[in-house]
């Protein structure tokens, strides 16, 4: 189960890039095909983490790439 901790997210989008890299067949970074979206309101600084139905928890990866590359601990796997 993927756990999200939005309060820890700094909006770096590393998770979004890692997810898009996997979804592209490990050929490119394409945020438009990522299962996760990081949205930052520049007026308030509020960050939202969105996860859509295309997330398969990176089957075959341990841990999922979004967890592996989140340097701020905004994602966890249990």
Peptide bond into 51 cis (omega under 30): no
Q: Mean pLDDT, to the nearest integer, of 57-78?
A: 93
50, pLDDT greater than 90: yes
Q: Mean pLDDT, to the nearest integer, of 3-15?
A: 94
Q: Choose among 2, 1, 5, 3: nearest CA to 47.
A: 5
Q: Mean pLDDT, to the nearest integer, of 9-32?
A: 96
CA distance 43 to 9: 17
Determine contact, residues 62/15, Cβ cutoff 8 Å: no
Instruction: Give 6's DSSP letter.
Output: G
Tell me the pLDDT band of 77, cut-offs 50, 70 and 90.
Answer: confident
What's this model's pTM, rounded to 2 decimal places?
0.88
Q: Which domains does the chain have, with CATH numbers?
A: 2-77 (3.30.70.20)
């Amino acid at each position: 189960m993927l756990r999200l901790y939005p309060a820890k997210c700094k909006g770096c989008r590393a998770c979004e890039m890692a997810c898009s890299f996997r979804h592209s067949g490990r050929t490119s970074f394409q945020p438009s095909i990522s299962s996760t979206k990081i949205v930052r309101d520049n007026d308030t600084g509020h960050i939202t983490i969105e996860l859509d139905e295309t997330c398969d928890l990176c089957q075959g990866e341990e841990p999922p790439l979004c967890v592996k590359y989140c340097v701020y601990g905004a994602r966890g796997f249990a």
